[in-house]
């Protein structure tokens, strides 16, 4: 346990499980005060209780919910130091079978939610940056936002959008003199409930053998020969939230065991 984020206020979406929960735990261990959000109200409330954090039920695709979140942050703290846009869904389905409603649902959560959150909380982030060290926005994208994967057109495109939105805001906010850094993290295969659902789809479509342990098959595809842990991503998020990355903005931090370097 350290104090790299001591006194900082951090808001983490999709925090009830998986990468979001891992980031929340890591930031709490480094001294951050947390607001955790998720549609899974029971799950996020349980984690918040363990971490001494605040929790809210939050649909990231809803402008009203983001406005409520901003009101909570402003009333409780008056500013925000760190925003982690982590909430997302995955869909494994051929493009020919992806309905427009399917497409729009993935985009509304994975991409629109990031945009609405950044836009809504920008004044609170700027207030934190003006008072001291720059505020930090950390958008969780994916290696699927860098390279294409079959039967994931909506997911791939949404995560590519997160990558480019991150770079656009990093440059725009720096141009306007806002003391807010914006970076993206691109996880590879990290064992989370969301990836477990995706693996079921990969098995069904034949991308992974149906017999044997699918995680062994996935690990064999990675140059480092293992599946990632949520802690691998959480360490990167703590770095981007801390003063150690004070001169870092517009970065895409790939944490994938070498997957896309091949």
Question: Which residues are known to be catalytic?
Answer: 155
CB 111 within 8 A of CB 168: no
Rounded Cα–Cα distance for residues 167 and 162 (Å): 9
89 in Cβ contact with 109 (< 8 Å)? yes
């Amino acid at each position: 346990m350290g104090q790299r984020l001591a006194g900082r206020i951090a808001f983490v979406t999709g925090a009830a499980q998986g990468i979001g929960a891992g980031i929340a735990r890591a930031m709490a261990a480094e001294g951050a005060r947390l607001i955790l959000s998720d549609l899974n109200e029971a799950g996020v409330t349980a984690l918040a209780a363990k971490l001494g954090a605040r929790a809210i039920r939050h649909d990231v695709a809803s402008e009203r919910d983001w406005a409520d979140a901003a009101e909570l942050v402003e009333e409780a703290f008056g500013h925000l130091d760190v925003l982690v846009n982590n909430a997302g869904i995955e869909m494994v389905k051929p493009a020919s079978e992806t309905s427009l409603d399917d497409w729009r649902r993935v985009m509304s959560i994975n991409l629109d939610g990031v945009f609405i959150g950044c836009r809504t909380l920008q004044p609170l982030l700027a207030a934190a940056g003006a008072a001291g060290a720059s505020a930090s926005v950390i958008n969780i994208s994916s290696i699927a936002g860098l390279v294409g994967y079959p039967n994931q057109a909506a997911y791939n495109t949404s995560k590519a959008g997160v990558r480019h939105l991150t770079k656009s805001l990093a440059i725009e906010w720096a141009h306007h003199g806002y003391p807010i850094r914006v970076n993206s993290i691109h996880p590879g295969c990290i064992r989370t409930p969301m990836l477990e659902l995706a693996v079921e789809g990969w098995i069904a479509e034949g991308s992974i053998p149906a017999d044997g342990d699918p995680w062994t098959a996935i690990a064999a595809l990675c140059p480092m020969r293992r599946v990632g842990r949520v802690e691998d991503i959480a360490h990167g998020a703590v770095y981007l939230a801390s003063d150690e990355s004070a001169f870092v903005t517009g970065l895409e931090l790939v944490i994938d065991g070498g997957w896309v370097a091949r």
